[in-house]
Structure 1
Amino acid sequence: MAKQYDILVRLLMIGDSGVGKTCMLCRFTEEGFIQPHLTTIGIDFKMKNMVLDDKRIKVQVWDTAGQERYNTITAQYFRRAQGIMVIYDITSETSFLNSQKWLRMVSENGCDDIEKLLVGNKSDAKSLRTVSREEGQKFADHHEMGFIETSAHSDTNIEEAFTVLVKQVMRKRKKSIDRQMANIRLYNTEDSIDLADESLINKDKSLCC
């Protein structure tokens, strides 16, 4: 059977338990908002097809458990991911401060050039907010990553968050391909002989047939 997509993109969702990772993923895959739901045990994943720049993209999203006892299990998935979404709860300062810990795990276990996006979830709970948008943006800028606030409950910016990260991955992929093609062209140019260059003809008679 013909492959139903052109490119496979692997994303990983990380963050403290209870920040809304599973709810965000269910919204993204159009399964709706699940409440209440069971805490993710270990790791789970879902798929969704997207079309960007005329490319059919299959997005594979891994939803990790936030509990520390599962860190050994989830760490092995970091290196396979092309993009990582670091998620905190805007009503929980602790989950925001722990974003530093999660980024450290990315640094220790992920690829050097992995794309990252900081996400402040539960933006609908304005009266319970303890982390300002400015704090989130400042943290993201300091770590040179994108930033967006979302709400799985009201389905705000969920599609946008995943799309932003997929686009980052696609841009990195295109740059890598362009760089490889440039190196191939350079290699071919250096190793080729211009047959029209008369200075190379009959310079050494012993080389002539």
Structure 2
Amino acid sequence: MTVPPATGFEVHGARGPFNAAFFGLMGPYIEWNVRGQKRRVFAGLPRTVVELGPGVGANLRHLAPGSTLVAVEPNPHMHRRLRAAAERRGVHLDLRERVAEHTELPDGSVDCVISSLVLCTVTDPAAVLAEVRRILRPGGTFRFVEHVAARAGTPTRLLQRVLRRPWAWTFEGCSCERDLAASVCAAGFARVDIQEYRLHSPFITFNTQIAGVAHA
């Protein structure tokens, strides 16, 4: 495994290709489960959007043809599928092989940032959210769909705790145990609208989720 100095992201010879293949294969099933929430929070996206961790391009369907996606994606194994998906959707792709904590975009230069199933994987969610606030223009929005820790004492929470190590290793640091609603609310946005919900899928540790919009 190596760590490219340009991104600070650990490129793993097994996990990287596995995750690209997994989300390429399972993407339609995941999207079917979260489609209602994504349609709500990703409605009316502007012509240029920054996405943190777009992976293989699951959210391109929410951008209009001719839009531009500034894709902050540090895993190079995702890039081939992401480029192909952008071409199919007619979306211009500005691909940046960087981590979400350091986008290198100018201050106050962005109208909209989106993420889905990404804040669970980043090293420092607070730093990522600070970066989002830095690059958003006043009145811009951060729109997100994320999976989070279940309530304490529930069977789902117990399973998240039991599986936390193999889950994190397999899915490149993904944590089942983060209170991301609290993190977004504490990040200093002018207003945050969040909805909690639960999926009913075989991936039980992944089923407690939030979706919302944070306004700069």
| Fold shared, TM-score > 0.5 on shorter chain | no
TM-score normalised by length of structure 1: 0.37
Larger radius of gyration: 1
Taking structure 2 as the reference length, the TM-score comes to 0.36
